[in-house]
């Protein structure tokens, strides 16, 4: 019972710590994390299209994996459906719609799974396998963007 109480308290405190984050900071962190992923997707692409650099692909895949597993969902606080981080957020209101909860969960889980797989395959150093996984991973990025990101 004491453990349960402490666990509940932990959740509450963690929740309030997240609640203390300013919406503009949460949006900035989101934009930063996605931009960091973009850098690293470009690095993998450069290796696939040019001279394959195993070490570079591993480093890039590890960054993407760590961000996929980081719990970025906590950055989608109430009040961050609109607002400015580095720039105005491009998240669509549909992302926050309760009716889309399962759909959002699915695109997040798809990305997470393929990012973890990318890191495994990168470690193997097989360029053809990396290319195939890169396409799969990119597909999960696009899957979310199509539904939940305002076009450039």
Question: Which residue ranges make up the site for a second copy (CB under 8 A)?
Answer: 9-10, 13-14, 17, 21, 25, 28-29, 31-33, 35-36, 38-40, 42, 46, 50-53, 56, 59-60, 62-63, 65-67, 69-71, 75, 86-87
Q: How far apart are CA 82 and CA 105, in angstroms?
A: 20
Whichever of 30 and 95 has its CB closer to a second copy, that residue is 30
Q: Write out the E strands in the chain.
A: none
> Which three-class secondary structure state does DSSP give residue 149?
strand
Taking the complex as a whole, the smallest distance from the CB of residue 15 to a second copy amounts, in Å, to: 10
Taking the complex as a whole, the smallest distance from the CB of residue 53 to a second copy amounts, in Å, to: 5
Residue 104: partners with Cβ closer than 8 Å, 6 or more residues away: 95, 148
Q: How far apart are CA 60 and CA 38, in angstroms?
A: 10
Taking the complex as a whole, the smallest distance from the CB of residue 12 to a second copy amounts, in Å, to: 8
Whichever of 12 and 94 has its CB closer to a second copy, that residue is 12
- For the record, the structure tokens of 35 come out as 């931009």
- 125 φψ region: left (φ > 0), alpha (ψ -120 to 50), beta (else): left
Taking the complex as a whole, the smallest distance from the CB of residue 145 to a second copy amounts, in Å, to: 17
Whichever of 87 and 128 has its CB closer to a second copy, that residue is 87
Whichever of 14 and 150 has its CB closer to a second copy, that residue is 14
8 Å CB contact between 3 and 11:
no
């Amino acid at each position: 019972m004491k453990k349960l109480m402490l666990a509940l308290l932990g959740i509450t405190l963690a929740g309030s710590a997240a609640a203390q984050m300013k919406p503009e900071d949460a949006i900035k962190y989101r934009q930063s994390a996605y931009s960091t992923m973009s850098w690293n997707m470009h690095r993998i692409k450069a290796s696939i299209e040019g001279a394959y650099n195993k070490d570079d692909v591993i480093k890039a895949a590890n960054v993407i994996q760590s961000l996929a597993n980081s719990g970025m969902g906590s950055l989608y606080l109430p009040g961050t459906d609109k607002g400015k981080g580095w720039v105005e957020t491009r998240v669509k209101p549909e992302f926050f719609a309760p009716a889309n909860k399962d759909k959002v969960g699915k695109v997040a889980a798809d990305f997470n799974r393929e990012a973890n797989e990318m890191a495994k395959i990168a470690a193997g150093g097989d360029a053809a396998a990396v290319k195939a996984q890169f396409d799969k991973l990119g597909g999960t990025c696009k899957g979310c963007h199509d539904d939940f990101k305002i076009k450039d």
